[in-house]
Chain A
Amino acid sequence: MLRSLKLEPEKCTGCLQCEMACSYEQEGVFNPAKSRIKVFTFHHEGVFAPYTCTQCDEAWCMHACPVDAIVVNAATGSKDVLNDVCVGCKVCTIACPFGTVNYNQDTGKVIKCDLCGGDPACAKACPTEAITYVDADQTGLERMRAYAAQSAQISPGS
């Protein structure tokens, strides 16, 4: 059973431990600007929403890549960016309708969540269990997926 990140804004306090854990795992520094997971603040509503790639089946980013630099990780189902292949054309950043692939101006490559190879640092660092790594069918991701399918461009013909 593949596992997914379960994101629960109602538990999030906006502390950004996840962003630091992510950037530390991925880049070796504490640097929210380079985090693959982002916490969005809804000040008016008093809500903090952690958000990252859902590793969607459509894999818009992967299909949009002109040089095959995004590949499926067979072990985790994540779509991983191959840094040595990525040319930094940024097409994946506009292709991903969830906005979860970002261009890193410092390296000239794109970055996205790769589930840390199966042991996501953000989930470990979250003090309130707003981010957990659980069996995919427990994540309530159906809703997100359903949304993705709705906005997906392909549907069975009539």
Chain B
Amino acid sequence: MAHVIIGAGPAGVIAAENLRKVAPAAAISIVGDEEGPPYSRMAIPYLLTGQIDEAGTFLRKHADHFSQRNIDLVHDRVDAVDSEASQVRLAGGSTLAYETLLIATGSRPIPPPIPGIELDGVHPCWTLEDARNVARLATKGSRVVLLGAGFIGCIILESLALRGVDLTVIEMERHVVPRMLNEVPARLIEKWCAGKGVRILTATRATAINRGGSAAGLEVTLDNGETLPADLVIAATGVRPNIGFLEGSGIDTDQGVLVDRRMRSNVSNVFAAGDVAQGVDFSTGNYSVHAIQPTAADHGRVAALNMAGRDMEYQGSVIMNVLATLGLVSSSFGMWNGAEGGDAAELVEADRYRYLRLQFEDDVLVGSTSLGLTQHVGVLRGLIQGRVRLGRWKDRLVADPTRIMEAYLAATRAIGANRRIL
């Protein structure tokens, strides 16, 4: 049995490891188009702050991790998939045959359609290579314009601020992290950042980037008429699943590769996992791309088991995010913006940068957003994903949303089951 995995990110690596557990004799290859061992893009912000070195970003820390497991790492790029012949074509010209194929190619940044985006000194911040470029230019006191204050933008924001750059952030939407938080906590994050010397302009677009008068300087023109000098412009305006190479392969795609609950595509021996997969959304039952690490891990595991011939189904992924913006921690889970016909409980303490909102459907928690919450946050996932019926704890949570942990313990009777005491 030969399993080929395209993509050396978390989904691909976890799939390979799980495959190895259940298929000791199978041939397993991971094809990745970047140099060096598999690494985590999520670790890049911490590389930029100097908290870790490049080795600290590696997904697996032991140099022989993959060889020990007899997992073949192929450093090459897949140009095309021939699903009828069950083989992939590599950029080098050779082909690789597979019995099952996993597409775990993740996503790639989409450069915003701004004149001058191709200039030197304008970078995305996505790969290790990008990180090196950013690190070179984002020195103390340098002028940096960050385009985009979505989830990724906000994570990079913190790293840049910690590097001591003179930072301006441009977000075209009304508020920061619009796909993770509603306006109330988002505005608090903006206020928090402003208090720490980071300028954030929302509802603002960059209309052009020009080479400025000064030596290596750039100038970013905004639609509010302002022009910002910049030593570095970082584009973090969005990413898209990496599916271009599948054109003509016969594998169905929409935003990403369409997969069923077994992570299987329309082609029976082709699977997809991670950011590239458009799988079942736990909350809505629709098909969505959930570009987050826990989903990648789940996808990788489910895909591997099915690739090895086990019949495993996935309930779908709960979208969730956690973000620290200059030390202010925020999170969102599930249908954080609410379910139709549902109701919500909300606590806002603007002066203290605290926010908690719970979204219910009947007596079941279906989504949440928080600001400043660092303890027992995961139980929100447990409540949502377990579709836990809260019973009388629903009203108690409405009265005091901070009592999520007690609600969980009481409603699931996870402990103390030997005497019904809660």
Contact = CB atoms under 8 A, between A and B. Distances in A.
A and B touch in the complex (CB under 8 A): yes
Contact of A147 (B312, B414, B422): B414
B405 interface: yes
A47 B378 contact: no
Given A67-B59, A154-B301, A94 B415 contact: no
A108 B312 CA distance: 37
A90 B293 CA distance: 11
Interface string A91-131: 11111111111110100100000000000000000000000
Interface stretch (A7-15, A17-25, A73-81): A7-15
Interface residues of B, number: 68
A147 B313 CA distance: 18
A94 B61 contact: no
Given A67-B58, A88-B46, A90-B324, A103 B374 contact: yes
A48 to B, nearest CB: 10
Contacts of B311: 156-157
B379 A90 contact: no
B196 interface: no
Contact of B377 (A50, A99, A105, A150): A99
Interface in A53-74: 60, 63-68
A68 B293 CA distance: 12
A158 B314 CA distance: 12
Interface stretch (B87-95, B349-357, B381-389): B381-389
A89 B42 contact: yes
B401 to A, nearest CB: 14
Nearest to B408: A99
Interface residues of A, number: 52
Contacts of B60: 68
B40 interface: yes
Given A89-B46, A102-B376, A51 B301 contact: no
Interface stretch (B25-33, B49-57, B120-128): B49-57
A92 B331 CA distance: 12
Contacts of A49: 409, 415-416, 422
Given A51-B414, A67-B42, A105-B329, 20 more contacts: A7-B415, A9-B421, A38-B405, A45-B422, A49-B422, A60-B378, A63-B298, A66-B10, A67-B43, A85-B56, A88-B324, A93-B377, A95-B381, A98-B378, A103-B329, A108-B51, A153-B282, A153-B315, A154-B298, A154-B313
Nearest to B381: A97
Contacts of A143: 413-414, 417
B220 to A, nearest CB: 29
B406 interface: yes
Interface of A: 7-10, 38, 40-42, 45, 47, 49-51, 60, 63-68, 85, 87-103, 105, 108, 140, 143-144, 147, 150-151, 153-158
Contacts of A95: 293-294, 297, 320, 378, 381
B418 A140 contact: yes
B14 interface: yes
B143 to A, nearest CB: 27
A154 B314 contact: yes
B379 A153 contact: no
B151 interface: no
Interface of B: 10, 14, 40-43, 46, 51-52, 56-61, 261-262, 282, 292-294, 297-298, 301-302, 305, 311-317, 320-322, 324, 327, 329, 331, 333, 374-382, 385-386, 404-406, 408-410, 412-419, 421-422
B53 to A, nearest CB: 11
A90 B322 contact: yes
A153 B42 contact: no
A99 B386 CA distance: 13
B61 A87 contact: no
B46 A156 contact: no
Given A64-B293, A97-B386, A158-B313, A105 B416 contact: no
Nearest to B396: A44
A94 B421 contact: no
B416 A10 contact: yes
22 contacts: A8-B416, A9-B415, A38-B405, A45-B421, A63-B297, A65-B293, A66-B40, A68-B61, A88-B324, A90-B322, A91-B42, A94-B380, A95-B293, A95-B320, A99-B408, A147-B386, A150-B386, A154-B313, A156-B311, A157-B261, A157-B312, A158-B313
B18 to A, nearest CB: 10
Contact of B294 (A8, A10, A91, A100): A91
A98 B379 contact: yes
Given A63-B294, A66-B42, A93-B374, A47 B56 contact: no
A96 B376 CA distance: 9
B69 to A, nearest CB: 14
Contacts of A42: 406, 410, 422
A94 B405 contact: no
B312 A94 contact: no
A156 B312 contact: yes
Nearest to A43: B406
Contact of A94 (B43, B298, B321): B321
Contacts of A94: 294, 320-322, 331, 333, 377-378, 380-381
